[in-house]
Structure 1
């Protein structure tokens, strides 16, 4: 079972939910796809870490073979190539490594070299395998790192928890492609509802079943409740705002292990998700 945990914006409690779900599931893989700001590892503090570098392919030029035909420049839909003095120049910051330029070159003047863009770390917290994608600072797209992180699934693990990037961009789409179920974490505020609607639209377009977890859900926000009712979105869990949870989080503790009530709540949440997947 693959569970993707999403939120419309940062700071809603997405990683809090992801980490506690993985620990509750016990025999699980936690994959942090929030590659620009991966912080699940701060809570797990994984041991026996292995690190694999992630590369993309960048076009290079055999200048003696280039005839300045500009076919590669005209084909590139990302404008990553420009012809200067009859020779193509590559802007690596916007290159998507699609390989089209090397395919269209009539003289074989373009070849590709590996360029490191990030790493994938894999370690363990007890029986939980902790996989973390980390994008190098300044890189434009984290999609290749996410793809490599998702390949780290351990077939022996029964449950995969995918901690997605916030928002609804390409990196989020990549993170949820193989998910069986999406958990959308939302705050019961006007801003929270606005951003939740965008990520809900995304999972709907991808035809992924979903439910919501309302974090800091001590009060009822009528507009959110109404939207969920109108769209038949199940409210899986309401996590209250408690000083004890805030203190546990501030020192990077895992709430379901330190607070009995929270542990029971996440156990019930996991069972609800299993029930939704089996429908």
Structure 2
């Protein structure tokens, strides 16, 4: 089963939930894969002791110019939807940071003057902690295209092993790359107007992707039913409430997962996993 953990905004507690869920499953003597797909700012490794296993680069093709063949006709600049190519008199300029690797330019160049060349955009790190496999994606500085790195992280997942995906925040393309095709998505939110607004965007995204979801309210405060009303209207299950508590924040700041700072939460997260499994199985 593949479970993704997402949120409409950053800082709601995705990693808190993802690490605690994975460790709780591991404590029940079940192998688990934990994929850190928040490739712009991965931090799962700060909470999991592990031994490095492997590392590989992720590359995307970008156009390379063969000036002996180029007639400076400007066809490549015309077909580039992202303005990654500019024709300046008898000079062709390529902007790698803007290129989306769509391949239109080298396919439509009438003289074959453009050919694809690899550009490194990130890395994938695999490590092991007993029966827990941790895969971390890292986007290179200055690179905007995170979905290819996210997909490379997901491609390392082994079939037949429970997989927990810590996705990036938001509801745009990187999040879609992380959650699409998963069996269930846990949305972590907080009981604030901003939290509600971004939660609703994430729910809309998951409806388009046809991924079932439930909600965890982090930093929950008694008497604040802002998220409750929304979930009731949308027919969403509130899977768990994590209270606003100083000790939880202090442990997290020291890199201690919730289930290790307070073992009571281990059983709660196993209950969460069992509830998700029941919903997935129908």
User: TM-score, structure 2 length as denominator?
Assistant: 0.95
Aligned equivalents of 1:170, 1:191: Cα separation in 2:
20
Question: Displacement, 1:172?
Answer: 0.5
Aligned equivalents of 1:194, 1:106: Cα separation in 2:
49
Question: Displacement, 1:206?
Answer: 1.1
Give unmatched runs, 5+ long, in structure 1: none
Per-residue CA deviations over 1:196-253 (Å, capped at 9, x if unaligned) read 1111111111111100011112324333211111110011111122333223212111
What are the equivalent positions in structure 2 for 1:260-279 lying under 5 Å apart?
Answer: 260-279=263-282
In the alignment, structure 1 residue 45 sits paired with structure 2 residue 53: no
Matching residue of 1:93: 97
Count of matched residue pairs: 278
Give unmatched runs, 5+ long, in structure 2: none
Aligned equivalents of 1:257, 1:222: Cα separation in 2:
29
Question: Displacement, 1:156?
Answer: 4.9
CA contact (8 A) 1:80 1:94 kept: yes
Aligned equivalents of 2:65, 2:79: Cα separation in 1:
16
Task: Select the residue among 145, 148, 151 that pairs with 2:152.
Answer: 148
- What secondary structure is seen at the aligned counterpart in 2 of 1:175? helix
CA contact (8 A) 1:184 1:213 kept: yes
In the alignment, structure 1 residue 170 sits paired with structure 2 residue 136: no
More displaced 10-residue stretch of structure 1: 230-239 or 258-267: 258-267
Question: Displacement, 1:186?
Answer: 0.6
Aligned equivalents of 1:61, 1:18: Cα separation in 2:
45
Per-residue CA deviations over 1:5-64 (Å, capped at 9, x if unaligned) read 001111110000011111112211111110110000100132133111111111011111
In the alignment, structure 1 residue 244 sits paired with structure 2 residue 247: yes
- What secondary structure is seen at the aligned counterpart in 2 of 1:219? coil
Matching residue of 1:123: 127
Task: Select the residue among 113, 118, 138 that pairs with 1:114.
Answer: 118
RMSD over aligned Cα, in angstroms? 1.3
Aligned equivalents of 1:229, 1:118: Cα separation in 2:
41
Question: Displacement, 1:107?
Answer: 1.2
Matching residue of 2:224: 221
Question: Displacement, 1:128?
Answer: 0.9
CA contact (8 A) 1:203 1:209 kept: yes
Aligned equivalents of 2:119, 2:150: Cα separation in 1:
16
CA contact (8 A) 2:56 2:125 kept: yes
Question: Displacement, 1:99?
Answer: 1.2
Matching residue of 1:23: 23
Runs of at least 4 residues off by over 6 Å: none
What are the equivalent positions in structure 2 for 1:68-87 lying under 5 Å apart?
Answer: 68-87=72-91
Aligned equivalents of 2:194, 2:60: Cα separation in 1:
37
Per-residue CA deviations over 1:170-205 (Å, capped at 9, x if unaligned) read 101111112111100010112211111111111111
